[in-house]
Chain A
Amino acid sequence: MNGTLKRASVACLLMFALLMININYLQAVKADDLRKDGRNQRSFFARYQNERGMITAGGETLAKSVDVGGTFRFQRKYADGPVYAPVIGFFAPESARGIEDAANQYLDGTHPDLFVRRTVDLITSKPTRGAAVDLTLVPKAQKAAYQDMKRSGKRGAVVAIDPTTGAILTMVSVPSYDPSPMAVPDKAKAAAAYNKLNADKDEPLINRAISKTYAPGSTFKVVTSAAYLSEDSTRDVNTTVDAPDILPLPGTTIGLRNFHGESCGGRASLIDALTISCNTAFGTMGLEMGYDKLSEQSAKFGIGQPMSIPLGVVKSDIGPDEGKAALAQTSIGQRSNQMTPLQMAMVAAGVANKGKVMKPYLVNKIVSPDGDEIDAARPQELDEAITPDVADKLRQMMVNVVQNGTGTAAQLPGISVAGKTGTAETAKGAASHAWFISFAPAEDPKVAVAVFVESGSAGNDATGGLVAAPIAHDVMQAVLDR
C-alpha cells in the first residue's frame, strides 16, 4: 500500500499548496481591492484610528483631530468652519474634499516622504500620526473677505494672491457651509448632511473661486490692454484709439455700446479708456489685433489651462474664434469669455509682479508631528505674460482707475492702489456680475485681489465699483496690516 499512500501524501500536499496559493492571491494580490471595497467597514473604522495632521494657517489651527476614545477615536474638528470650508473641505466617513482630500497622504501619514518616520514609529511602537499642513491663507484677510461677502447675503468669491510668490492669501466662496456635520463618524448622518447641502440651489458646496467660470466683464480689459500694448512697443498710455458711441459689429445689424449708453467722446487715450471703462475703445482694439493676438496674450496669463493648487482649478477660456462681432465682445469680457475668480486674481498679480505670473499655491509647508519641516513651498514662475515696460504702463492706467475712475471705493489711505472694475452682463434684463481686480501698493505690490459677486445677489444695479471694490479694499487692508 506504500505506493498509494505516497500518492495520497502528494495529494494532501497538493491540497495544502492550493490553499497556500489561494491565500497568497487573496492577501497579497487582491488585498487592495478587498481593503478598499465599500462594504468593508474596516476602511471606515481605520479613518478614525490614527491622529490626523492639523491644518493651520498664519498660526491658527483650522482643523485638528481630537481624541475622544472608543471605536472612533480621533474625530475631526473645524474652527471657523464656513470661513475656510471651500478650501479645507471636510473629512467624511467615506470621502474627503478640499485640502483634506488633496493633502490626504500627508495628513494621514501615508505619504512616501513620511516613510522613514512611519518606520521609526513602527519600531518604537508609537502610533502613526499624520503631518500638519500649513496653508498660505492669512486668517485676518480671509475673515474680512468672508464677513464682507456674507453680511449682505452676496454670492461670489474673493481671491487674494501674493504677486511675487503666487501664495494664495485669501480664498473665500460664499455661500459656504459648516463642514462639521459631514465629519461625524456616521455614514448615514454625514450623507444626510451632504445631500441637504448638495440639493441647495445656492450651491454652497461649490468653491466659486476655482470650480466655476463667469463672464469677467470689463476686468478683462486689462488683458486686452496688455495685448494691445505688447503688440507695438511705441504705444503708451496716451496712445489714442477710436471710441465711437456705437461700434458697428461687422456682419451684424447691431452695434456695441458703452455702459448705460454713455459716450467716450469719439476717440480716447488708453488710460482714459480704461479709467472710464470705454467698451467701444476696447472693441476697436480687439478688432484691430485679431483673435490670435488676444488668445496668445490670454494664454500667457495662464488662461486655457486647468491647474492644481493643489485643489483642482477648472480652466478659464476666452471662447472660440467666432468672427469679428464676437471678438469685439470677447475683448470686453463678454460673449464666451469665462474666467475663474482665481484666474482674474492672477491677471492682476501678473501686472503687479512686473509681468511675471507666478503659479498660485495654497500649501505653505508640511510639518511633521514632531515639528520638523518636511516640505516647503517653492514659488514657481508660470510665464512672463508681459514685459516690465508694458506692466508699468498698465500699472499707471490701473492706478488712475482707482484714483479718478470707476474704482474709487478701493482707495487706501496713504497707499496707491491699482485696480479695474467689471460689470458683466449675464443675460438680457438680468442683473450683472460685479467684479473688481486690484493690487497694492502699486509701486511695490504685496497683494493682488479679485472680487467676484454673482448676478442678482447684490441688487439689480450692482456694479463692480459699487459692490466689489469695497470688499477688495478691506481684503487689501487686512493683508497689508497683518
Chain B
Amino acid sequence: MSAVDAAEAIPMTAKRRGAQLVMLAFAVAIVMVAYANVGLGKDGKVPAGMLTYGLGLGGVMLAAYLVLARFAPWADPLVLPLVTLVNGLGLVMIYRIEQAVPKLASASTQLFWTALGVVMFSVTLIVLRDHRALQRMTYTAGFVGLGLLILPLLPFVGREINGARIWVSVGGFSIQPGEFAKLALVIFFAGYLVAKRDVLALAGRRLLFIDLPRARDLGPVLITWVVSVGVLVLEKDLGTSLLLFGAFIAMLYIATQRTSWVLIGLLLFIGGAGVAGALFSHVGARFQVWLDPSSQALYDLPFGGSYQLMQGLFGMGSGGILGTGLGQGHPDLIPLSFSDFIFSATGEELGLTGLMALLMVYALVVERGLRTAVAARDPFSKLLAGGLSFILAWQVFIIVGGVTNLIPLTGLVTPFMSQGGSALLANWILIALLVRMSDAARRPPPQAIQDEGLTQVFKR
C-alpha cells in the first residue's frame, strides 16, 4: 500500500466558506426580492421598509456567518444559507400578513426574534466548543426538559391561549417552554440511549418473527409515553405530545436497531390516541375533521370544527400551481395565517411551486443533519445529530401534514416560519448544535506525518 493510496483513503473535506458566503448572499437576495414583490403586488410600489428588513436580515446573517467561520470552520456550508432562506421567507410572509391583519402579525417583532435567534446560535457555537460536553449533562437535560414541559401547568405563570396551556408569561413576555423542552429532551434521549443501548438492543427473546425486549427495559418507553400523554391531557397540546413521542421512538430505533421498539411505540401511540379520542372531545373532533373536513356540519361548529382547516385548504386551492403572487392573496381569510397556518398562506401566494421549493429546502436541511450524524465519530454525536434532524423533519411533517389534512391537525409551530420567539430561538439553537457537530464530523483527523512510514497509515 503506497502513501498515495493512503492519502486518498482519508478524503479531505473542504471548508467551502466562499461558496457558503455566496449562497448566504443569494438567500438574502431572494428574501429581498420577495419583500419587493409584496409591495409591488399589493400597491405597485417597492415597500419603504424593504432596505431596513433586507439589510437587517443580511447583517444578522453575516454576523452568524462570521461566528460560524471563526468557531466552526469545518461546518456544513449548506445549513446556514438554507435556514436563512426559510427564516427570511417566513419574515416576508409575516410582513405580508401584517399588511392584511396588522393586529395579529408583526414583522418587526419577528425580525427582532430572528436577530435574537442568531445571537443564541452564535452563543451556542462560541460557548459549546465540544458538544460531547452535553453527554455529561444527560440527566440534567432530562430534568430540565421535564421541568419546562410542566412549567405551563403551574399556577400564576402558566397561560392558556387558544385552548392549549403551553405558555408561560414572565414580566410581559410570553414564552413557549415546550420548544426548549424539545431540545433538552433530545439531548437526554441521546445520552440515555447511548448508555443503555446495549441492554435495550440485545436483551430479550424472540417471539414468532420479532425480538421482544425484556419487560423491565420497557420502563423508559413507558415513562416517555406517560409524559407525552400527560402533555396531551393536561395541556391539551396534541402536537408537542406527538412530536416528543415520535422523536423518542425514532431515536430508540436508531440506537438499538430493533424494529420491535417501533412496533411497541406504534401500539402505545395508537392505544393512547384511541383512549384520548374516546375520552376527550377535542381529540375526537380533530379525528372527525380529518376524515371529512368539507362536511358542512363540522365546518359550522363554533369550536374544534373544520373551519380553520378548510379556509387554509381554500387558500391553497386558490393559489393553485403558480400561486396568486405575493401580496395578492387573501391571508386575512385564513385564521392563524401568521402561526399554525402560515404554510397555507404561503401556498396561496407562492403556489404549489413555492411550497415544493420550501419543502425541498426543509428536506435538504434535514438530510444535511442526518449526513452529519452518519459522518459523526462517536455514538452520542450520531444519536444527537440524528435525533435533532429527525425531530425537525417530524415537526414539519406534523404541522404541514396537519394543515394540508394529510394527518389529523395538531397545533405546532412551522419551524423558522411561524411567528413566535420561543420557537425561533429554540430552532436556531438546534441548528447551532447541528453546525457544531458537523464541524466536528468534517474536521479532518490529525494528518499522518510522511516520514514516519507506512505503519502510521490507517483506514477508518
Q: What residues on A are CB-neighbors of B317 within 8 Å?
A: 26-27, 30-35, 37, 40
B318 touches A1 (CB 8 A): no
A5: contacting residue among B254, B299, B310, B356, CB under 8 A = B254
A2, A15, A43 pick with most chain B CB within 10 angstroms: A15
B390 within 8 A of A: yes
A-B contact pairs, 12 of them (CB 8 A): A8-B386, A12-B363, A13-B363, A20-B356, A23-B359, A24-B356, A26-B347, A27-B321, A31-B318, A37-B317, A39-B299, A40-B318
B320 within 8 A of A: yes
Interface residues in B381-417 (C-beta closer than 8 Å to A): 382-383, 386, 389-390, 393-394, 396-397, 400-401, 404-406
B284 within 8 A of A: no
Interface residues in B15-72 (C-beta closer than 8 Å to A): none
B294, B315, B317 pick with most chain A CB within 10 angstroms: B317
Q: What residues on B are CB-neighbors of A40 within 8 Å?
A: 314, 317-318
B315, B351, B386, B405 pick with most chain A CB within 10 angstroms: B386
| Proximity bits, A372-393, B CB within 8 Å = 1, else 0 | 0000000000000000000000
Q: What residues on A are CB-neighbors of B333 within 8 Å?
A: 41-42
B314: contacting residue among A13, A28, A42, CB under 8 A = A42
Q: What residues on B are CB-neighbors of A31 within 8 Å?
A: 316-321
A13: contacting residue among B254, B367, B374, CB under 8 A = B367
Nearest to B319 among chain A residues (CB) is A27
B401: contacting residue among A9, A18, A27, A34, CB under 8 A = A18
B351 touches A27 (CB 8 A): yes
Q: Shortest 4 CB-CB distances between A and B: which pairs?
A: A34-B317, A27-B352, A40-B314, A12-B393
Given contacts A1-B379, A13-B367, A19-B400, list 5 more A-B pairs with CB under 8 A.
A1-B254, A5-B386, A31-B318, A37-B294, A37-B317
How far does the alpha carbon of A156 sit from the alpha carbon of B402 in the complex, in Å?
58
Q: What residues on B are CB-neighbors of A37 within 8 Å?
A: 294, 310, 314, 317
B373 within 8 A of A: yes
Tell me, rounded to whole Å, the shortest Cβ–Cβ distance linking A93 to chain B: 15
How far does the alpha carbon of A43 sit from the alpha carbon of B324 in the complex, in Å?
13
B131 within 8 A of A: no
Tell me, rounded to whole Å, the shortest Cβ–Cβ distance linking B133 to chain A: 21
B316 touches A34 (CB 8 A): yes
How far does the alpha carbon of A27 sit from the alpha carbon of B318 in the complex, in Å?
8
Q: What residues on B are CB-neighbors of A42 within 8 Å?
A: 314-315, 318, 330, 333
How far does the alpha carbon of A23 sit from the alpha carbon of B394 in the complex, in Å?
17
Q: What residues on A are CB-neighbors of B405 within 8 Å?
A: 22
A19 touches B253 (CB 8 A): no
| A3-B257, A35-B317 given; A18·B406 CB < 8 A | yes
Nearest to B317 among chain A residues (CB) is A34
Q: What residues on A are CB-neighbors of B319 within 8 Å?
A: 27, 31
Tell me, rounded to whole Å, the shortest Cβ–Cβ distance linking B279 to chain A: 29
| Proximity bits, A257-285, B CB within 8 Å = 1, else 0 | 00000000000000000000000000000
| A12-B367, A40-B314 given; A27·B294 CB < 8 A | no
A45 within 8 A of B: yes
Tell me, rounded to whole Å, the shortest Cβ–Cβ distance linking A18 to chain B: 6
A28: contacting residue among B254, B352, B404, CB under 8 A = B352
How far does the alpha carbon of A6 sit from the alpha carbon of B367 in the complex, in Å?
10
How far does the alpha carbon of A28 sit from the alpha carbon of B356 in the complex, in Å?
12
B404 touches A26 (CB 8 A): yes
B394: contacting residue among A9, A15, A33, CB under 8 A = A15
Q: What residues on B are CB-neighbors of A41 within 8 Å?
A: 314, 330, 333
How far does the alpha carbon of A348 sit from the alpha carbon of B255 in the complex, in Å?
92
B355 touches A23 (CB 8 A): yes
B321 touches A16 (CB 8 A): no
Q: What residues on B are CB-neighbors of A3 within 8 Å?
A: 257
B116 within 8 A of A: no
Tell me, rounded to whole Å, the shortest Cβ–Cβ distance linking B314 to chain A: 4
Q: What residues on B are CB-neighbors of A9 within 8 Å?
A: 367, 370, 374
A22 touches B254 (CB 8 A): no
How far does the alpha carbon of A340 sit from the alpha carbon of B102 in the complex, in Å?
57
Nearest to B371 among chain A residues (CB) is A9
B374 touches A6 (CB 8 A): yes
B74 within 8 A of A: no
B352 touches A16 (CB 8 A): no
How far does the alpha carbon of A9 sit from the alpha carbon of B257 in the complex, in Å?
14
Nearest to A36 among chain B residues (CB) is B317
B255 touches A1 (CB 8 A): yes
Q: What residues on B are CB-neighbors of A27 within 8 Å?
A: 316-317, 319-321, 347, 351-352, 355
How far does the alpha carbon of A261 sit from the alpha carbon of B374 in the complex, in Å?
108
How far does the alpha carbon of A43 sit from the alpha carbon of B370 in the complex, in Å?
44
Nearest to B255 among chain A residues (CB) is A1
How far does the alpha carbon of A6 sit from the alpha carbon of B373 in the complex, in Å?
9
| Proximity bits, B245-288, A CB within 8 Å = 1, else 0 | 00000100111010000000000000000000000000000000
A4 within 8 A of B: yes
B362 within 8 A of A: yes
Nearest to B356 among chain A residues (CB) is A20
B366 within 8 A of A: yes
B80 within 8 A of A: no
B313 within 8 A of A: yes
How far does the alpha carbon of A28 sit from the alpha carbon of B317 in the complex, in Å?
8
B299 touches A16 (CB 8 A): no
Q: What residues on B are CB-neighbors of A45 within 8 Å?
A: 330
Q: What residues on B are CB-neighbors of A35 within 8 Å?
A: 314, 317-318, 320
Tell me, rounded to whole Å, the shortest Cβ–Cβ distance linking A332 to chain B: 54
How far does the alpha carbon of A21 sit from the alpha carbon of B61 in the complex, in Å?
33
Q: What residues on A are CB-neighbors of B255 within 8 Å?
A: 1, 4
B253 touches A16 (CB 8 A): no
Tell me, rounded to whole Å, the shortest Cβ–Cβ distance linking A2 to chain B: 5
Q: What residues on A are CB-neighbors of B316 within 8 Å?
A: 23, 26-27, 31, 34
Nearest to B329 among chain A residues (CB) is A42
Q: What residues on A are CB-neighbors of B366 within 8 Å?
A: 12, 16
Q: What residues on B are CB-neighbors of A20 within 8 Å?
A: 356, 359
Nearest to A125 among chain B residues (CB) is B40
Tell me, rounded to whole Å, the shortest Cβ–Cβ distance linking B357 to chain A: 11
B393 touches A15 (CB 8 A): yes
| A13-B367, A23-B356, A42-B314 given; A28·B321 CB < 8 A | yes
Q: What residues on A are CB-neighbors of B367 within 8 Å?
A: 9, 12-13
How far does the alpha carbon of A15 sit from the alpha carbon of B314 in the complex, in Å?
23
Nearest to B252 among chain A residues (CB) is A4
Tell me, rounded to whole Å, the shortest Cβ–Cβ distance linking A13 to chain B: 7
Q: What residues on B are CB-neighbors of A19 within 8 Å?
A: 359, 396-397, 400-401, 404, 406
Tell me, rounded to whole Å, the shortest Cβ–Cβ distance linking A266 to chain B: 72
B370 touches A8 (CB 8 A): yes
How far does the alpha carbon of A20 sit from the alpha carbon of B354 in the complex, in Å?
11
Q: What residues on A are CB-neighbors of B299 within 8 Å?
A: 39
How far does the alpha carbon of A345 sit from the alpha carbon of B352 in the complex, in Å?
54
Tell me, rounded to whole Å, the shortest Cβ–Cβ distance linking A298 to chain B: 48
A12 touches B370 (CB 8 A): yes
How far does the alpha carbon of A39 sit from the alpha carbon of B310 in the complex, in Å?
9
How far does the alpha carbon of A28 sit from the alpha carbon of B352 in the complex, in Å?
8
A8: contacting residue among B330, B360, B390, CB under 8 A = B390
Q: What residues on B are CB-neighbors of A13 within 8 Å?
A: 363, 367
B374 touches A23 (CB 8 A): no
B318: contacting residue among A5, A15, A34, CB under 8 A = A34
Q: What residues on A are CB-neighbors of B314 within 8 Å?
A: 34-35, 37, 39-42
B294 touches A4 (CB 8 A): no
How far does the alpha carbon of A21 sit from the alpha carbon of B255 in the complex, in Å?
30
A4 touches B254 (CB 8 A): yes
B363 touches A16 (CB 8 A): yes
Tell me, rounded to whole Å, the shortest Cβ–Cβ distance linking B350 to chain A: 10
Tell me, rounded to whole Å, the shortest Cβ–Cβ distance linking B395 to chain A: 11
Interface residues in B230-255 (C-beta closer than 8 Å to A): 250, 253-255
B374 touches A2 (CB 8 A): yes
Interface residues in B160-210 (C-beta closer than 8 Å to A): none
B313: contacting residue among A7, A11, A32, A34, CB under 8 A = A34
| A12-B366, A28-B321 given; A4·B406 CB < 8 A | no
How far does the alpha carbon of A112 sit from the alpha carbon of B250 in the complex, in Å?
53
